[in-house]
Amino acid sequence: MVRGSDLTRFGITISSLTAVVALASCSDFSPPDNLEPVASGDGYQAQYREPVSKNHEAEFLKSEAMNAKTCNSYAGSGAGGTGSVAFELSGEKLTRNDLLDIRVGDDDTFSGSYVVSRDGTLKLPFIDPVTAQGRSTSEVENDISDQLKSGGFYVERPRISVRVADFASVSVAVAGAVFEPHAVEIGNAPGDKLDARRQEALGASTEARNLSVALRAVGGIRPDADISAVELHRGGKVYKLDLRGIFKGSNPFDVMLLTGDHIVVPSRECFQDDLMKPGPISPPGVSLFVSNLTQPATGNASSGIGREVREVAYGTRYLQAVVDTNCVGGSRSTSAQRSAVLFSRNPMTNVSVVIERDIEDLLRRADRDDYDPYLLPGDAIACYDSTITNIAEVGRVLGIIGAGLLLD
> Average pLDDT, stretch 228-243?
93
User: Please, where are the H alpha helices in 255-336?
Assistant: 300-303, 318-324, 332-335
pTM of the model: 0.80
DSSP code string of 154-166? -SSPPPEEEEEEE
Angle at 49 between CA 308 and CA 311, to 5 degrees: 15
Secondary element (H or E) of residue 381 = strand 380-384
Domains, the chain: 4-70+283-297+304-407 (no CATH), 83-91+168-269 (3.10.560.10), 99-166 (3.30.1950.10)
pLDDT in tens, 256-296: 999 999 999 999 999 999 999 999 999 988 887 777 655 55
How far apart are the C-alpha atoms of 304 and 290, rounded to whole Å?
A: 11
pLDDT beyond 60 at 232: yes
Look at 84 and 358; give whichever has higher pLDDT. 358
**pLDDT higher at 329 or 400:** 329
Cross-strand pairs, 344: 353
Between the CA of residue 217 and those of 92, 186, 379, what are the distances in Å? 21, 8, 19
pLDDT, one tens digit per residue, over 122-167 is 999 999 999 999 999 999 999 999 999 999 999 999 999 999 988 8
Model pLDDT, residue 40:
87
Report pLDDT digits (tens) over 36-62: 999 888 999 999 999 887 666 667 889
